[in-house]
Chain A
Amino acid sequence: MVASPEIRVAINSDPDIVLARQKGRARAIELGFSSGDATLIATAISELARNIVAYAKKGLITLQVVNGSNRQGISVTASDEGPGIADIRQALRDGFSTSGSLGLGLPGVRRLMDEFEITSQPGRGTTVVVKKWRQ
């Protein structure tokens, strides 16, 4: 298997959201994902990058190849040093929003992908890692 370097996209303003999801789609197609799955991945990236812009102003989207025992996938990490989330359980509920611009973000992203992990510390930032395995 060819070594695959990670791809990092700095998220500083809304055009970076488009850039991140385009890179994500291209990477997913390169890795052999179907066009439908690439759309799900690109949509998840769009929402995660949007959360960064809306809540933390700036952050980073990192795309990595992940290898399981007999499968390969892509992981997307969205990290920021923004205000963090005080109540993660509440943020994962459908319809929850504090910025007025979202509300479906995190639970929706969780449905788009196969794996979802979030860590957040108020005042320190938030990291969301999502994975999708190739069918």
Chain B
Amino acid sequence: MEVPILKQGAVLIATFQAALSDADLNQLRMGLVQQVVKFRSRAVIVDVTAMDVMDSFASRTLREIAHMIRLRGAETVIVGIQPEVAFAMVQLGLTLEDVTTALDLEEGLAYLNEKFKNTH
């Protein structure tokens, strides 16, 4: 299953689907970093609103994506973690430490706009 990646100015938006396999996640990890390089993007928003389960592999992959993108000098914002998914993640002991999160796509974009405005 392919993850659609939308380019909006200097920001890439990747929208996760519910049924992503490990192979899909691995593919996305490489694909996103390549696109950040190609488009000289300054930030990536990963929208996980549709994900009904965030297990150890998915959250580790998200952390890795954020760290790789940071090494490129860009920022990652994870948006849309559902309350039930957040609860399960905490029970499972998963964290997304030092990865920025926001309520939804709108909040994520607002955060990045504010941040870019201040760096110019």
Chain A residues within CB distance 8 Å of chain B? 14-15, 17-18, 21-22, 25, 35-36, 39-40, 42-43, 46-47, 50, 94, 101-105, 107-109, 111-112
Contacts and interface: CB of A to CB of B under 8 A. Distances in A.
Given A22-B19, A36-B84, A50 B55 contact: yes
Name the residue among A39, A42, A107, A108 with the largest chain B CB count within 10 angstroms. A39
Name the residue among B82, B83, B92 with the largest chain A CB count within 10 angstroms. B92
Given A43-B53, A50-B57, A111 B21 contact: no
B13 interface: no
A6 to B, nearest CB: 21
Contacts of A43: 53-55, 88-89, 91-92
Contacts of B55: 43, 46-47, 50
A108 B21 contact: no
Q: Size band of the B side of the interface?
A: 20 to 34
A103 B56 contact: yes
A111 B91 CA distance: 6
List the 3 shortest-distance A-B pairs measured between CB atoms, nearest first: A108-B92, A14-B22, A46-B55
Q: Is the interface of A mostly helix, strand, loop or mixed?
A: helix
Interface of B: 19-23, 52-57, 60, 82-85, 87-89, 91-94
23 contacts: A14-B21, A14-B23, A17-B22, A18-B21, A21-B53, A22-B19, A36-B84, A39-B52, A39-B87, A39-B88, A40-B91, A42-B52, A42-B53, A46-B55, A47-B55, A47-B92, A104-B93, A104-B94, A108-B56, A108-B91, A111-B92, A112-B91, A112-B92
A120 B75 CA distance: 44
